[in-house]
Chains A and B, each alone.
Chain A
Amino acid sequence: MEPIYLDNNATTRVDPAAVEAMLPFFTEHFGNASSIHAFGSKVGQALKQARQQVQTLLGAEHDSEIIFTSCGTESDSTAILSALRAQPERNTVITTVVEHPAILSLCDWLEKEGYIVHKLKVDKKGRLDLDLYKSLLHDGVAMVSAMWANNETGTLFPVEKMAELAAAKGIMFHTDAVQAVGKIPMSLKDSKIDMLSLSGHKLHAPKGIGVLYLRRGCRFRPLLRGGHQERGRRAGTENSPSIIALGRAAELALEHLDYENTEIKRLRDKLEKGILAQVTHAFVTGDITNRLPNTCNIAFEYVEGEAILLLLNKMGIAASSGSACTSGSLEPSHVMRAMGIPYTAAHGTIRFSLSRYTTEAEINHVIEAVPPIIAQLRKLSPYWKENGPVENPEEAFAPAYA
């Protein structure tokens, strides 16, 4: 059997149609879009088309609201730093504890630089307390940044509602929609969202291309200064092949949006039910009824995630884990800890993320493969006995130190 790729929240395969669209821009149309001559003009036209394709996917009002960047991380950094620089009288950023490191590490650094950062906590299902959020909106807040969809659990935040609440207080709103774009419908022109980040490689476009959506009229300061590309809002010669591939990928994502929310969702649910029906002491994390259609995150108690991944990998199945060991730190995923998932389970969380390339046969295969792997590792675990966890695991296993 061909390897089975269920790690599409990490990155995706570039759609062959997107590859086809970009290839001529390495060779025939290698020109610089800024040039006056014919070599450049063809590129300029293609960039314009790509901008419109992304605009359509996002439901943005103007194509000039689309700024091409080098990745999701750059878009995130640009958004938050712009809000602080454009409004020096405001020194506070509101975000959430479950953001991607692209936001969290930046915010940690901002705190060290003297800014105030409020990180909204989440409940057991990864949901925010909107009343608390409302109470934190005041004149000192430069920007609210909340992710649209969580990369580990797929949990969706009510960003449209949050943006309205922020707008009512005159506060800019940014959303890291890297995981959401192309998986759920959106219409930015009907929202109060001021800025949005997306990343090409999560929606079957190449790696190293991103977008910052910037609502017309929103005050802005560029991160990179230089030439007049992207109207001076992001200097640097355009990565034209990748931009053009992203445009095509955006078009394809829009065409597949229905499929994503029906067929992919059905396969995801089948996978989840199929595994949970056979494995005890396992549960789905996140807000089950309000999440991305392609993502499923299962916590397997009393086993460690990296060990599961290695065994899955041996069977040709690719997934990812929130275990400490896969990140090189001592703590399991900050998202799992934020939801209060006990340590007995947090180290054993596995994320399966599907795409439109995922087939029913693959899902059936994974449903068969997972239960024996968990059983095999539990057999090795000092916390597990025959058919269940040892009673009172903390006492049965009495380490000399903990």
Chain B
Amino acid sequence: MWEYSDKVREHFFNPRNSGPLEAANGIGDVGSIQCGDALRLMLKVNPDTETIEDAHFQTFGCGSAIASSSALTEIIKGMSLDDALKVSNQNIADYLDGLPPEKMHCSVMGREALQAAIANYRGEKWSDDHEEGALVCKCFAVDAVLIEDVVKANNLNTVEEVTFYTKAGGGCAACHEGIEEILAKIKAERAGPGEVSPPLKPLAPKPAAAPKLTLVQRIKKIEEVLESIRPMLIRDHGDVDLVEVQGRNIYVNLKGACSGCMMEASTLGGIQQKLIEALGELVQVLPVSYMPAEA
């Protein structure tokens, strides 16, 4: 059986705030019975103060799904809607003294139900480009969808590269076969149906072909890109700063929840892709810790 913390067990055996909430004025449904996880979050929001006066849940799911739901209702009761929106899935997991890597998605579901319920209260439509794949790397909790995205975005070809960007594969090595399969699949897709596509399509703009920017223009562009990403990072309790530009190496400082978390490498990969597009040249985004000492 899973290594559940005492807190998870406690919330599973004695769930708080379970069952329907008659006075609910914001309801969020996420998940489905097909996936084996479904959660309905019901909020009673005070329209004058925009605070959550009560929160209930109904969950179909495993022990950690029920515990995550219970924890979420406890966390958000009494919060303003704006504060509640800042609750991250990591907050839910932390509240429960952690969840096994295979179960982190239960806390993600809790956060999504919260967003859906608040959107429902505000009369907005909430949709999520939610896509979750089978867990490939158990050591670092990386799923197939994330690996595919990163491989495609960064044109990766080897397990070592995937490990560099996502950490997947950097532990016990059990997932190397799975990562290789993903690489092979994407390689086949890249090759496409032989006759139709032109033989060798450059996947990224050639550095030489890109218009030369001055250093100031480059830094301005880089700042613009970082600015556009910042809200997303802040939502996850993180932030990013530009530290130094040295040729094609761009050093940034990831802060808050992003730094050191399992997703750091993929966050950097995502920023890098955006910068390559914006600058029209191949650059490498590196954490500041990689900056040569003498620089």
Knowing A329-B135, A401-B130 are in contact, say whether A383-B33 is a contact too (CB < 8 A): yes
Contact between A382 and B19 (Cβ–Cβ < 8 Å)?
A: no
Residues in B with CB closer than 8 Å to A398 are 29
- Chain B interface SS verdict (over half): mixed
Indicate if the CB atoms of A380 and B19 lie closer than 8 Å: yes
- Which residues of B are found within 8 Å of A379, using beta-carbon distances? 18-19
Given contact pairs A330-B132, A400-B30, A304 touches B62 in the complex (Cβ within 8 A): yes
User: What is the chain A residue whose CB lies nearest that of B102?
Assistant: A328
Task: Using CB atoms, name the residue of chain A closest to B30.
Answer: A399
* Number of B residues, CB within 8 Å of A: 41
Q: Which residue of A lies closest to B70 (CB)?
A: A380
Of the 9-residue stretches A212-220, A270-278, A306-314, which lies at the interface with chain B? A306-314
Contacts of A329 in B (CB 8 A): 134-135
Q: Would A382 and B127 count as touching, CB distance under 8 A?
A: no
> Which chain A residue has the least Cβ–Cβ distance from B60?
A381
A343 at the interface (CB under 8 A from B): yes
B49 at the interface (CB under 8 A from A): no
For B1, list chain A residues within 8 Å (CB). Answer: 309-310, 313
Docked Cα-Cα span, A381 to B63, in Å, equals 13
Shortest C-beta distance, B12 to chain A (Å), equals 6
| Chain A residues within an 8 Å CB radius of B133 | 330
Q: Cα distance A204–B130 when bound, in Å?
A: 47
- Minimum CB–CB distance from B288 to chain A (whole Å) comes to 35
Contact A307/B29 with A381-B59, A383-B60 known, Cβ cut-off 8 Å = no
Q: Which of A313, A314, A344, A381 has the most CB of B within 10 A?
A: A381
> Chain B residues near A332 (CB, 8 Å)?
36
Asked if B170 CB lies within 8 Å of chain A CBs, one says: no
Using known A-B contacts A328-B102, A330-B134, determine if residue A380 contacts B66 with beta carbons closer than 8 Å: yes
**CB contact list, B246-271 vs A, under 8 A:** none
Contacting residues of chain A (5-61) with chain B, CB-CB under 8 angstroms: none
Q: Decide yes or no whether A323 CB sits under 8 A from chain B.
A: yes
Given that A397-B38, A398-B29, A399-B30 are known contacts, is A306 also in contact with B112, CB under 8 Å in the complex?
no
Any B CB within 8 A of the CB of A302? yes
Residues of B within 8 A of A309 (CB): 1
Partner of A400, one of B33, B58, B60, B127: B127
- CA A383 – CA B135 in complex, angstroms? 27
What are the interface flags for B91-128 relative to A under an 8 Å C-beta threshold, 1 for contact and 0 otherwise?
Answer: 00000000000110000000010001000000000111
Closest beta carbon of chain A to B46's beta carbon, Å: 24
| Residues of chain A contacted by B132 (CB below 8 angstroms) | 330
The prevalent SS among residues of A at the interface is loop
Contact with A along B39-65 (1 / 0, CB 8 A): 110000000000000000011111101
Q: 1/0 per residue A387-402: CB within 8 Å of B?
A: 0000001000111111
A326 to B12, CA, bound (A): 16
User: What residues of B have a CB within 8 angstroms of the CB of A306 in the complex?
Assistant: 62-63
Please determine whether A381 and B58 come into contact, CB atoms closer than 8 angstroms.
Answer: yes
CA distance A332 to B60 in the complex (A): 14
B15 within 8 A of A: yes
Q: Determine the residue in chain A with the shortest Cβ distance to B39.
A: A382
Contact A402 B32 (CB under 8 A): yes
CB distance from B196 to the nearest CB of A (A): 27
Does any Cβ of A come within 8 Å of B200's Cβ?
no
Convert A310-322 into 0s and 1s, putting 1 for each residue whose CB lies closer than 8 angstroms to a CB of B.
1101100000000
B164 at the interface (CB under 8 A from A): no
Q: Is the CB of A382 within 8 A of B62?
A: no
- Chain A, range 343-402, C-beta contacts under 8 Å to B: 343-344, 347, 379-383, 393, 397-402
Q: Which A residues are in CB contact (< 8 Å) with B33?
A: 302, 343-344, 347, 383, 393
A305 CA / B40 CA spacing, docked (Å): 19
The minimal Cβ–Cβ distance linking B198 to chain A, given in whole angstroms, is: 30
Distance to closest chain B CB from A31 (angstroms): 37
Q: Is A252 an interface residue (CB 8 A)?
A: no
A48 to B98, CA, bound (A): 53
With a cutoff of 8 Å between Cβ atoms, the chain B residues found around residue A314 in the complex are 13
How far in angstroms is the closest Cβ of chain A from B271?
A: 26
- Cα A27 to Cα B126 in complex, Å, equals 69
Q: For residue A380, which residues in chain B have a CB less than 8 angstroms away from its CB? A: 15, 18-19, 58-60, 66
Seen from chain A, the residues whose Cβ lies within 8 Å of a Cβ on chain B are 302-307, 309-311, 313-314, 323-326, 328-332, 343-344, 347, 379-383, 393, 397-402
Q: List 8 A-B contacts (CB under 8 A).
A: A306-B62, A307-B61, A310-B1, A380-B58, A382-B38, A399-B29, A400-B28, A400-B127
Given contacts A304-B60, A380-B19, A393-B33, 19 further A-B contacts (CB under 8 A): A302-B33, A304-B62, A304-B65, A306-B62, A307-B65, A310-B1, A311-B13, A325-B36, A325-B65, A328-B135, A347-B36, A379-B18, A380-B60, A382-B39, A382-B59, A397-B40, A400-B28, A400-B112, A401-B127
